[in-house]
Amino acid sequence: MPKLTGRVTAHGEPAASAVVEVHNSNGDVVDQVQVDAEGRYTYNLSEGSWVLNVWDAHGHRGRSEVTLGADDATSDVELSEPEGGH
């Protein structure tokens, strides 16, 4: 089973309060984790297409689409400012 890892940042710094939510190809939520203090997350997922929706406590948002094969993959996400700023 391939491993998906990555780092979530906001303004180039680790987004320590961020949550990463994984959706399968049908759009169903599969799991949700909070990143560590360095903004890192890890999932063990089956091969296929996945969507990561990411957010933090400050309203920053991010998204990544990933297709996993047999090998491990990395998907880093830079969060964007919320509409209207802080």
- How far CA 6 is from CA of 18, 37, 73, 75, 83, in Å, comes to 12, 13, 8, 5, 25
* Cut 0.85: pTM above it: yes
Q: Return the domain boundaries, the chain.
A: 3-79
Q: What is the pLDDT of residues 45-73, one digit of tens each?
A: 999 999 999 999 999 999 999 999 999 99
Rounded mean pLDDT, 65-83: 95
Report whether CATH 2.60.40.10 matches the domain 3-79.
no
Predicted local distance difference test score (pLDDT) of residue 82: 83
Q: How far apart are CA 78 and CA 60, in angstroms?
A: 9
What's the pLDDT at 86? 58
